[in-house]
Amino acid sequence: MNPPQISRRAALKSGLAATALAPFTQLSGAETTPTPRKNRVHQSVCRWCYKDIPLDQLCASAAEMGLKGVDLLNPDEYEVPRQYGLICTMGYAGGGTIPDALNRTENHAAIEAGFRQNIPLAAKAGVPNVITFSGNRRGMSDDDGARNAIAGLNRVKKIAEDNGVTICMELLNSKVNHPDYMADHTAWGVRVMEAVNSPRVKLLYDIYHMQIMEGDLITTIRANLAPTSAWIGHFHTGGVPGRHELDDTQEVQWDGVMRAIADAGFEGYVAHEFIPTRDPMSSLRAAVDLCDV
């Protein structure tokens, strides 16, 4: 199991411990009738936020809601969503862990080996994106970290290009959830993307994390989805503060953000990555309705 998934699941334990799961009915893909959607925003859902729900049941529910896929699956799970007319919209593929990844050259060989093994599997399963990270600073300057991350991505970008799969480096906050994480501002991530300059190396713009670190979401999104500077390849959601439901208890105006993404002509995926505090599927459906602009 890939370490980033473990860390995400560990973070989830306290958030879902008291959540009572509603009963689920196992559905086959043939039995699922999708809710009609506008499809200006292609929505997905992150697996780790629903760890207590079997993957098959999550896929069936996601398909019925009109979602397009499930995010953050391991290679042995890549094919599961296809049984429900979905895809794995982003996979783990050996791209390092949140604290230990691209900003240290000693991690590059392992990341390359993981991508060489798993990116072809992702391509075969129709997985469009795989995730990677910058790693933590641990006293390293942002300039040195950027140089190392550029070198690491240059080392693996041809694997992605040859297979038609996009490597996405995630932007995370270092203020609340991931102290010392290096890729904690969009400008640093864009600097790396510009230097690597590959159509198959992009940023995972996590709206929750970037609202905490810098705000100015719509302007930043527009700037980095423009035809000449399309450095964002994938999005995650999450209510601020707390990373819970996308509702009136938090500060992001989600319909406005989604309109900016849709109006920019973004054809990738927006995956919901919030920890539900109420009935999980009701909360997910409400988020999907809100973002269906």
Give the largest CA-CA distance in the chain.
Answer: 54
The token duo for 113 is 């080996």
Question: With contact defined as beta carbons under 8 Å apart, do 180 and 136 qualify?
Answer: yes
Question: With contact defined as beta carbons under 8 Å apart, do 149 and 134 qualify?
Answer: yes
Q: State the pLDDT at residue 143.
A: 98
For 152-197, the three-class secondary structure string (H helix, E strand, C coil) is HHHHHHHHHHHHCCEEEEECCCCCCCCCCECCCCHHHHHHHHHHHC
The token duo for 246 is 């996308």
Within 13 Å of residue 265, how many CA atoms lie on the same side as its CB?
5
The predicted model scores a pTM of: 0.89
Mean pLDDT by 10 residues, the chain (293 residues): 39 36 39 86 98 97 98 98 98 98 98 98 98 98 98 98 98 98 98 98 98 98 95 98 96 98 98 98 98 98
In 3D space, the residue among 203, 205, 177 whose CA is nearest the CA of residue 275 turns out to be 177
Amino acid identity of residue 257, one-letter, is: V
- The residue written with tokens 């469009």 in the block is 128
The token duo for 18 is 């008291």
In 3D space, the residue among 200, 131, 195, 197 whose CA is nearest the CA of residue 166 turns out to be 200
User: From CA 56, how far away is CA 28, in angstroms rounded?
Assistant: 9
Determine the straight-line distance between the first and last CA of the chain, rounded to whole angstroms.
36
Q: Name the fold adopted by 3-11+29-291.
A: TIM Barrel (3.20.20)
The domains of the chain are located at 3-11+29-291
Q: State the pLDDT at residue 33.
A: 81
Q: State the pLDDT at residue 172.
A: 98
- The residue written with tokens 């900003």 in the block is 103
Q: State the pLDDT at residue 8.
A: 41
Q: State the pLDDT at residue 32.
A: 55
Q: State the pLDDT at residue 97.
A: 98
